[in-house]
Structure 1
Amino acid sequence: MKSYLFAAAAAVALGVGGYPALRPADPALAQPARGSAIVEVTEPATLSAQAQMGKRGFDAVCAACHGTNGVGRVGMGPPLIHRIYEPSHHGDMAFFMAAERGVKSHHWRFGDMPPQSGLTRADMTAIIRYVREVQAANGIN
Structure 2
Amino acid sequence: MDKNLRIGIAVLALVGFGALIYSSNSKQARQIAASATQAPATQASAVGRAIVEVKVPEFEGKAVLGQLAYVAKCASCHGENAVGQVGVAPPLVHKIYEPSHHGDMAFVMAAKNGVRSHHWTFGNMPPVDGITDAEVGTIIAYVRTLQRANGIY
Write the mapping of 1:1-141 to structure 2, written as runs, cut at 5 A. 31=43, 33-44=46-57, 46-141=58-153
Q: Deviations over 1:80-103 (max 9, x none)?
A: 000000000000000000001101
Query: Mind listing any 5+ residue stretches in structure 2 that lack a counterpart?
Result: 1-41
What's the counterpart of residue 3 of structure 1? none
How many residues are treated as equivalent by the alignment? 112
- Give me the whole-angstrom Cα distance separating, in 2, the residues matched to 1:41 and 1:114: 25
Q: Which has the larger radius of gyration?
A: 1
Please give the TM-score of this superposition, normalised by the length of structure 2.
0.71
- Give me the whole-angstrom Cα distance separating, in 2, the residues matched to 1:101 and 1:124: 12
- Give me the whole-angstrom Cα distance separating, in 2, the residues matched to 1:41 and 1:72: 11
Please tell me the residue identity of whatever aligns with 1:43.
V
- Alignment identity in percent? 59
Query: Mind listing any 5+ residue stretches in structure 1 that lack a counterpart?
Result: 1-29
- Give me the whole-angstrom Cα distance separating, in 2, the residues matched to 1:67 and 1:39: 10
Q: CA deviation at 1:109?
A: 0.4
Question: Any runs of at least 4 consecutive aligned residues in structure 1 with deviations exceeding 6 A, and if so which?
Answer: none
Q: CA deviation at 1:48?
A: 1.6
- Give me the whole-angstrom Cα distance separating, in 1, the residues matched to 2:152 and 2:46: 27
Please tell me the residue identity of whatever aligns with 1:54.
G
Q: CA deviation at 1:105?
A: 0.5
Q: CA deviation at 1:39?
A: 0.3
Please tell me the residue identity of whatever aligns with 1:75.
G
- TM-align CA RMSD: 1.3
